[in-house]
Amino acid sequence: MLNGLKGPFRIFIFYSTIVFFANNSFAQTRAIDSMRTHLKDEILDSMKVKTMNLMSYYFYIRETYDSAKKYGEQALSLATNLKYKIGMVVANENVGSIAFRMGKYSDALQIFLQAYQIANEINYMKGISHVTNDLGLLAFYTGDYPSALKYYIESIKIKEKLGNKEAIANTYNNMVDVYTEEGDIEDGRVYLNKVLKIDHEINDSLGLAFTYASLGDNYLRSAKVDSALFFENKANEIGKILNSKIVEAYSSAYLGDIFMNEGKKEDAFTSYQKALAVADSINDKEIIAMVYFNLGEVCVKLQRFPEASSFYAQSLDIAKKINDKKKIMQGYLALTHYDSISGNQNAVLSHYKLYITYRDSIFSVSAAHKIENEKLTYENEEQQALAKKDFENKQAIAKEESEKKIQRQKILRDVFIGGFGLALIFSLVFFRQRVRIGKEKKRSEDLLLNILPAETAEELKSKGSTVAKDYDMVTVLFTDFKNFTAASEKLNAQELVNEINYCYSEFDRIVTKFGIEKIKTIGDGYMAAGGLPVKNTTNAEDAVRAALAIRDFIEEEKQSRISQNKPYFEIRIGLHTGHIVAGVVGIKKFAYDIWGDTVNIASRMESSGEPGKVNISGTTYEFVKDKFKCNYRGKVQAKNKGEIDMYFVEG
């Protein structure tokens, strides 16, 4: 039936069904036979290029890389002879992707750059968007995160013009990986919410499941376990509806991560085993390698060293089979750590050397990538600069002779005027510099005071450093928006930032009014403390008053937004009083921060509270019970502290 179709329409049929054929064992033989027949019967050489490119892609997603490479190189050779540049771009992308999957990163880089150059020559926007995404993946995989982000942004701009939402979502997900590796969890969450919006718009249920799973991982990295569990369960529910084994495998693996974070090592082990069984059933080697690695990590924590060694070895073996250099590198590093703590000192050095070998093989490509990246960016500008310089040199030679005469006439006059003028200029420059330095000094001091408490800022200016201090009585205040994710989905990025800024600005005014020191914001969480840097005995009362003011402000905002039919936030607030250590951390973007069990218990009070309520610990209650009406609400288990009494402050 396909033989009766004409040129491009036949290719469209092949392309739109190829993924189905690649994942359906019943249809695989028919699919490849049809393509081979199509290739044999095709008269137009350009159509042969397209068909060979499709066959290359077919074998690529089946992980039959030798066949994929053969058809990709045939397509490239024919397209080059025909000077069919779109076919050359696609063929280069296919061959480059194969080299990348086979761990030949330097080869992949050169091939992708060739595709990028050809696509730019013919202004093939779709090809540029694909190849820049590929270059971003390669840069990410070799640890060159700035270049990866640069390529992804270039890809996104083109995809937005082309209106391909599914492709946009794919690149957004890649950007999330960069932010995650860089530790910018909040930025990653912003782009995950953009992906979530697109998934809903295009009704992509499978994409939605993966996005929920990624959101769960994101919240776990922010230590928001409740939110992490919520999204992983949503991902799991969709996976069951779709009967998607890959979603089930990923979701079980992420749940294992959550259990590990909570210290539930046995539950984590069980969850990872479930993920492994599902991944085995679909023979997904990437997930299998990842889960074996995680099982090794759990067993190290459980001090089941023989099992840990076995799991690490199996992870490493699969990583080598799929030539995943990054997983191999991580595997050898894990074995180095394992050998050290298990007492196998003879193997430590050999495994560490192998880790260094794979690390260098990956990250040396990163340096080459940066060089090529600069070449791509500045090649045209350099040519223009050389032409401009040549023109300017010719002009300079022509002017030089005429200017010599004028210059000689000016010398005597300039000698006379110069002395006076120089003194005047020096005075003006000195005065302006003095004014400018004064302004810059004030600006720097204002900025420092915006980052650090006044006393700490003065210590830093006078001594060049600060000393951490102990405080026996500090009241720590935590807030968190309950329905932040649901509300944020209904707002665009700018509206979300504006709303958060409005709330936090009001929080800043409130805590300042009550003499409380703002510590930091953590996404949709806000942290402040009373009783530092200047010690006092009223900080519990001050902090409770600030908490009630914040509660009332959010409630007023909620009612206002409900009346306007707008999304709104609800807030949980928790407080605890006790000992903390405070000081300045870091040498770049340094910050004033606090540590201790008091911080953890205050966070526990917040997470154990209810929306619109101020939840305080029994310790804080003892300091404020004569000032406020409080209702006892039971006990909560706190890590390393046993059970702690809780009270709601009513007013």
Position 440 scores a pLDDT of: 54
Domain, as residue range, for 15: 1-102
- What is this structure's pTM? 0.49
Q: Evaluate whether residue 241 is within a structural domain.
A: no
Q: Work out whether strand 613-617 and strand 642-649 pair parallel, antiparallel, or are unpaired.
A: antiparallel
Q: Evaluate whether residue 619 is within a structural domain.
A: yes
516: tokens are 């409380």
Q: Give me the amino acid identity at 243.
A: N
- Sequence-ordered list of residues with C-beta below 8 angstroms from that of 165, at least 6 positions apart, any chain: 198, 201, 202
Q: Give me the amino acid identity at 383.
A: Q
Beta carbons of 114 and 99 less than 8 angstroms apart:
no
Position 381 scores a pLDDT of: 41
- Sequence-ordered list of residues with C-beta below 8 angstroms from that of 452, at least 6 positions apart, any chain: 460, 584, 592
The closest alpha carbon to 574, from 603, 541, 542, belongs to 603
The closest alpha carbon to 506, from 551, 553, 548, belongs to 553
- Sequence-ordered list of residues with C-beta below 8 angstroms from that of 641, at least 6 positions apart, any chain: 597, 601
**Domain end position, chosen among 70, 102, 134:** 102
Position 419 scores a pLDDT of: 46
Q: Evaluate whether residue 385 is within a structural domain.
A: no
- Sequence-ordered list of residues with C-beta below 8 angstroms from that of 421, at least 6 positions apart, any chain: none
Low-confidence ranges of the chain (pLDDT < 50): 1-29, 41-43, 366-388, 390-391, 394, 398, 411-412, 415-431, 447-449
In whole angstroms, give the CA distance from residue 148 to residue 178: 7
18: tokens are 């190829």
Position 312 scores a pLDDT of: 85
Q: Evaluate whether residue 625 is within a structural domain.
A: yes
Q: Give me the amino acid identity at 433.
A: Q
Position 552 scores a pLDDT of: 92
Position 621 scores a pLDDT of: 94
12: tokens are 């469209």
**Domain end position, chosen among 102, 125, 157:** 102
Other Cβ atoms within 10 Å of 389 Cβ, number: 10
Longest dimension (CA), the chain: 97
Beta carbons of 91 and 76 less than 8 angstroms apart:
yes
Q: Evaluate whether residue 581 is within a structural domain.
A: yes
- H helix intervals, 564-649: 597-607, 618-624
Position 11 scores a pLDDT of: 33
Q: Work out whether strand 613-617 and strand 571-585 pair parallel, antiparallel, or are unpaired.
A: parallel
83-99 residue pLDDT tens: 999 989 998 998 988 88
Question: Over the range 354-371, which residues count as b (16 or more CB within 10 Å of their CB) and which as e?
Answer: bbeebbebbeebbeebee
- H helix intervals, 283-344: 285-301, 305-321, 325-342
270: tokens are 């069980």
97: tokens are 């992707």
Position 306 scores a pLDDT of: 83
Q: Which residue has the tokens 């718009």?
A: 201
Looking at the structure of the chain, the number of domains it has is 2
Q: Evaluate whether residue 33 is within a structural domain.
A: yes
**Domain end position, chosen among 102, 136, 170:** 102
Other Cβ atoms within 10 Å of 221 Cβ, number: 16
The closest alpha carbon to 110, from 407, 371, 294, belongs to 371
Query: How far apart, in Å, do the first and last CA atoms of the chain sit?
Result: 78
528-569 residue pLDDT tens: 999 988 888 899 999 999 999 999 999 998 898 888 888 888
Beta carbons of 325 and 355 less than 8 angstroms apart:
no
Q: Evaluate whether residue 166 is within a structural domain.
A: no
Q: What is the CATH number of the domain that holds 552?
A: 3.30.70.1230
Q: Evaluate whether residue 30 is within a structural domain.
A: yes
**Cα–chain center distance at 385:** 37
